Amino acid sequence: MLTRIAIADDHPIVLLGTRVVVEAGGRHRVVAEAHSAEQLLSCLASEPVDLVVTDFSMPGGSRSDGHAMLQALCRNHPDVPVILVTMITNATSLHMALRSGVRGLVHKGSGVDNVREAVDVVLAGRLYLDPVLAPCLQEAGRERSLSVLSPKELEVLRLYVSGPSITEIAAQLRRTVSTISRQRLSAMRKLGISNDAELFAYAFEEKLGTPHGSVALGH
């Protein structure tokens, strides 16, 4: 069965290009196109999709602000992953997008292969971060030093972002599951990180456990 995808951008030529890239290979089908945030949300209300690929800021409507649009998308359709294709390089905005629930960040200046990879990675349940945006994300990460963590918290964090579940980490380190969970949450709190998506983004920035542009989600 073909993956059903909705795409959105206020520039028709970009929308056309996105469709061509997404449908190349015959595994995905674009079932909805939108030119504004309001139109995208309206489409999703009537057309079930498996993935959204959208621009950040599109003019018109009460949700022309990109953050408001992303929050509405992730709140109203929590089971539909979102890939953001944007020219934004501001670290704060990118981290806010991740905190909203975005699962993929692609820079518009990147090649079409990055878009294809992002679609495949996100549909597989992982977070995709465009290598072009890594230096931008690091701007916010520099102030969150790993030195604030205890040795045990750092050990847990390194393992967690590399793939093992909390239960597997507990068995490996010979600690209880509740202890591992507490140490992970304590480390995230000290770093000012509120969810797994932002944690994996931070790990990517700091090369904490996974050196690649995509990391597994779902612990």
State the Cα–Cα distance between residues 110 and 89, nearest whole angstrom.
13
Average pLDDT for the chain: 85
Low-confidence stretches of the chain (pLDDT < 70) are 60-65, 138-145, 205-206, 209-219
- pTM of the predicted model, to two decimals? 0.66
For residue 118 the two structure tokens come to 């992002």
One domain for residues 128 and 152: no
Q: What is the CATH number of the domain that holds 124?
A: 3.40.50.2300
Burial of 142 (0-12, 13-18, 19+ CB in 10 A): exposed
Say what the pLDDT of residue 111 is. 85
The predicted structure's pLDDT at residue 97:
86
Do 10 and 118 sit in the same domain of this protein? yes
- Into how many domains does the chain fold? 2
Structural domain includes residue 197: yes
Domain match, 71 and 135 both: yes
55 in a structural domain: yes
In a domain, 214, yes or no: no
112 and 12 both lie in a single domain: yes
61 inside domain: yes
Residues 154 and 129 in one domain: no
For residue 145, the model assigns a pLDDT of 67
Q: State whether 125 and 170 are in the same domain.
A: no
Domain that holds residue 68: 3-139
**What pLDDT does residue 219 have?**
39
Is residue 49 in a domain?
yes
Q: Is 218 inside a domain boundary?
A: no
Is there a domain that residue 216 lies in? no
Question: If you search the block for the tokens 């949700």, which residue do you land on?
Answer: 63
Do 105 and 171 have their domain in common?
Answer: no
CATH of the domain at 161: 1.10.10.10
Q: Do 192 and 104 lie in a common domain?
A: no
Residue 217, domain member (yes or no): no
Question: Do you know the residue count of the chain?
Answer: 219
Note whether 108 and 192 are same-domain residues: no
Please list, in sequence order, all residues whose beta carbon lies within 8 angstroms of the beta carbon of residue 164, skipping any fewer than 6 positions away: 172
